[in-house]
A = this chain, B = another copy of it.
Amino acid sequence: MIINRLKKLGLKITPQRLAILNLLEGNIKHPSAEEIYNQLKPQYPSLSLATVYNTLDVLARAGALQEIRIKAEKRHFDPNPVPHGHFLCRICESIHDLDVGPLEIQTPFNIRDYLVKDYTLYFYGICPRCRKRDRSSNQ
């Protein structure tokens, strides 16, 4: 239950937070703050972009979701807070989860006197969809 997740974090239950968490629940599209705002605005006309940013910040800092900085200009958000690989398609600009087996690491860990609490792993290239499209259009 989303309400309980908020309660556990000691956060007040507000319609805005519920809406944002609901939108993200099970969402694998990794939306940006603006996309979240635009998708919720019709249902919540009073919603402010600042609230979306605030809420995402609070939730990310509480470890309830994860910020993705795979694109230069914009942040994106993943409801799964556990570090895992992400992929950005250089053609269609879509973002995908991409777990690459042996690369996935448990945090925190120690290496050469560095205490690593967290990590991000970003891949860049061409997604299956665009590869397929490319191949067929080139024939």
Chain A positions within 8 Å of B, measured between CB atoms, are 69, 72, 75, 87, 90, 96, 98, 100, 102-103, 105, 108, 111-128, 131
- CB pair B100–A113 under 8 Å, yes or no, is no
CB-defined contacts of A128 to chain B, threshold 8 Å:
112-114
CB-defined contacts of A100 to chain B, threshold 8 Å:
105, 111
- CB pair A121–B124 under 8 Å, yes or no, is no
- CB pair B114–A118 under 8 Å, yes or no, is no
- CB pair B120–A116 under 8 Å, yes or no, is no
CB-defined contacts of A118 to chain B, threshold 8 Å:
123-125
CB-defined contacts of A103 to chain B, threshold 8 Å:
103, 105
User: In the complex, how many angstroms separate the beta carbon of A78 from the nearest chain B beta carbon?
Assistant: 15
